[in-house]
Amino acid sequence: MANKIPRVPVREQDPKVRAHNFEEVSYGYNKEEAMLEASRCLHCKKPLCVTGCPVNIRIPDFIEQVAGGDFDAAAAVIAMDSSLPAVCGRVCPQETQCEGKCILGVKGEPVAIGKLERFVADWQHGDQNTGAAPDGFSACSGAPIAAPNGHKVAVIGSGPAGLACASDLAKWGYQVHIFEALHKAGGVLAYGIPEFRLPKDKVLQKEIDAVKALGVTIETDVIVGRTVNIDELFDKEGYEAVFVGTGAGLPRFMGIPGENLSGVFSANEFLTRNNLMKAFRDDYMTPIHAGRKACVVGGGNVAMDAARTALRLGADTTIVYRRSEAELPARQEEVHHAKEEGIHFELLTNPVEILGDENGWVRGMKCIRMELGEPDASGRRSPVPVPGSEFIVECDTVIMSLGTSPNPLIAKTTPGLERTRKGGLVADESGATTREGIFAGGDAVTGAATVILAMGAGRKAASAIDAYIKGK
């Protein structure tokens, strides 16, 4: 029986070694490992994994191709539903999506769907580690491209939503131009997710190049709402529809005393300096301050990324989170990796004040112990302070990782575009906003969520844009 084979472990960099470098943690499967792992799939008649995937990748079909050693065919199956497999294979929360639904997971371990997806994508990209041919075509360009149809669409933001929307439209013959505010394409994949989880040149750049190979053009250094506004894109630059995939880029702070002391950073600033601006490399000019002892406040994936980055830059690093381990919003894999690398956790703990020295630099954080009370609106038990339990954590750097919210710039500069109370753009299931011809998706609509949901929203909006333009 296929299911007697245990889940094939993935090779990883030694935690002691990787705590000092920015190389990717996971080496991924090689050909033999991938084929063996693929052979574990039961090929359920009603595959629950597919329903667990936000974009419904035909998982058993691609796994069957992997098991048979036809990786190009596997890539073609994935490409029908996903534009960014090398990214999603690495950063998707598979344990709550596809793998969370896998029947094998009921009694044992689910099929390593994420690792297999990554293998297929890396194989396509000609990754040395997987032993693929270096001239492999991209998974992204696997689908045929239609003849140009003469219609122009603008995509704002080159993150997962924008890239997915752009690549679908380009495949259908649209002339697609992406506007990116930063100097490099990729959005959160470029500025937010660290090199050790998502290598930039080896993986991300190849996914972006694949989108460009479809004929999509990317113009960096354009802030829509400042450099140019959406009405000008319609009226002066001839675009017939606009997709807004501007993400959720605004950092939250706690509003506690001492938050503006020197040495208190948002995770966004800290990660952008290191990921986009490559502060970890000596040959880049970017300054960064991790300090000797860093505290990261928050428990999501971004908090793990910031903590593991601070650790690699030489700081003794602690995660401070107000609920318990079970409620950590970060992926299990990231928490596990963080612990292996030596990150400390102060759980059920919340900062109440940041303390400064005579020069206005952080010298510590006054925290209070928490206990879990009644469930709140999110269904999670809400943390309640334990009276009199205050204590001081010494540190010289504090990184606030409390989540992000959508940037209001586009809504503010585009008449007729409405926002929800939480700041996201109002959009229906298809991505249509309150203004004709403008579509939106991803974190810009939902607030901070996942890469795969953003990609899915981008693709849905692409279909809606296609229908809109054809119906005009």
> Is-contact 435 417, C-beta < 8 A?
yes
Site of tokens 């008449």: 415
Query: How distant, in Å, are the alpha carbons of 184, 275, 303 from that of 200?
Result: 11, 9, 20
Q: Give CA–CA dist 244/156, Å, rounded.
A: 5
The stretch among 102-110, 123-131, 254-262, 292-300 that binds another protein (CB under 8 A) is 254-262
Among 6, 235, 238, 284, binds another protein (CB under 8 A): 284
In whole angstroms, the minimum distance from the beta carbon of 191 to another protein comes to: 8
Contact status: 105 vs another protein (CB under 8 A): no
| Residue closer to another protein, measured from CB, 93 or 157 | 157
| Residue closer to another protein, measured from CB, 215 or 251 | 251
- Exposed / middle / buried, residue 82 (Cβ in 10 Å: 0-12, 13-18, 19+): buried
Contact status: 283 vs another protein (CB under 8 A): yes
Contact status: 201 vs another protein (CB under 8 A): no
| Residue closer to another protein, measured from CB, 149 or 262 | 262
Contact status: 265 vs another protein (CB under 8 A): yes
The stretch among 74-82, 91-99, 266-274, 458-466 that binds another protein (CB under 8 A) is 266-274
> Is-contact 372 238, C-beta < 8 A?
no
Angle subtended at Cα 120 by Cα 119 and Cα 125, rounded to the nearest 5 degrees? 95
Contact status: 292 vs another protein (CB under 8 A): no
φ, ψ (nearest 5 deg) of residue 311? -60, -45
Among 26, 167, 175, 266, binds another protein (CB under 8 A): 266
In whole angstroms, the minimum distance from the beta carbon of 393 to another protein comes to: 21
| Residue closer to another protein, measured from CB, 115 or 273 | 273
Instruction: Name the amino acid, one letter, at 299.
Output: G
Among 76, 112, 132, 277, binds another protein (CB under 8 A): 277
Q: Which of residues 338-397 bind another protein (CB under 8 A)?
A: 359-360
Q: Give CA–CA dist 91/210, Å, rounded.
A: 19
Token pair of 82, please? 């996903």
Contact status: 402 vs another protein (CB under 8 A): no
The stretch among 94-102, 244-252, 303-311, 387-395 that binds another protein (CB under 8 A) is 244-252
Q: Which of residues 167-196 bind another protein (CB under 8 A)?
A: 181-183, 191
| Residue closer to another protein, measured from CB, 254 or 432 | 254
Residues that bind another protein in the complex, under the rule CB under 8 A: 181-183, 191, 220-223, 226-228, 249-251, 253, 255, 259-260, 262-263, 265-266, 268-269, 272-273, 277-278, 283-289, 359-360, 407, 409
